[in-house]
């Protein structure tokens, strides 16, 4: 065990967790941030994607000790059920997802892309989301909705 200070969603937290603990496990079990999903546990599905200092990362692959000096953002940083981020609202309105398990990871990948590149091409979007697997949407409605989000500038909140 080691004393670690982690910055999550704009707040500092001190913990005595094992530095090898996966960030996804820490977020869910120690911080009760359940929006970060653990799907495969080995970085293949993207359900656990969070922003780490502005980059999309699979939090199941990031040991807690590697987060020192970084700022972590989870899906909870974007708002709650009564105050959805415009991107979340549009995805819901358009029915871009079915079961929703992959949604937090997809949204975090999308948010990090749009912060770096507010006018991405369809190719940019596909590349940014290539690490996020969705087993039930077929991606068509998701990609159409993201293109609409970009056209309408909804991500510039």
* Structural domain boundaries in the chain: 4-78, 86-152
For the full predicted model, state whether its pTM sits above 0.85: yes
pLDDT tens digits along 79-125: 888 999 999 999 999 999 888 899 999 999 999 999 999 999 999 99
CATH code for residues 86-152: 1.10.150.120
Does 53 have pLDDT greater than 70? yes
Which residue is listed with tokens 């000096």?
69
CATH code for residues 4-78: 3.10.20.30
What's the start-to-end Cα distance of the chain, in Å? 40
Lowest mean pLDDT segment, chosen from 8-12, 111-115, 143-147, 151-155: 151-155
CB atoms within 10 A of CB 75: 24
What is the overall mean pLDDT for the chain? 93
Q: Helix 103-116 vs helix 140-152: angle between axes, to the nearest 10 degrees? A: 40
């Amino acid at each position: 065990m080691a004393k670690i200070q982690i910055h999550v969603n704009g707040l500092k937290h001190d913990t005595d967790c094992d530095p090898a603990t996966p960030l996804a496990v820490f977020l869910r079990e120690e911080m009760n941030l359940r929006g970060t999903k653990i799907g495969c546990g080995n970085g293949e599905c993207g359900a656990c994607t969070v922003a780490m200092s502005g980059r999309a990362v699979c939090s199941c692959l990031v040991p807690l000790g590697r987060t020192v000096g970084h700022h972590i953002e989870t899906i909870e940083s974007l708002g709650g059920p009564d105050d959805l981020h415009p991107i979340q609202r549009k995805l819901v309105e358009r029915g871009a997802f079915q079961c929703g398990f992959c949604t937090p990871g997809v949204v975090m990948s999308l948010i990090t892309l749009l912060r770096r590149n507010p006018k991405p091409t369809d190719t940019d979007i596909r590349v940014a989301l290539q690490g996020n697997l969705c087993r039930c949407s077929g991606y068509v409605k998701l990609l159409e909705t993201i293109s609409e989000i970009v056209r309408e500038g909804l991500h510039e909140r």
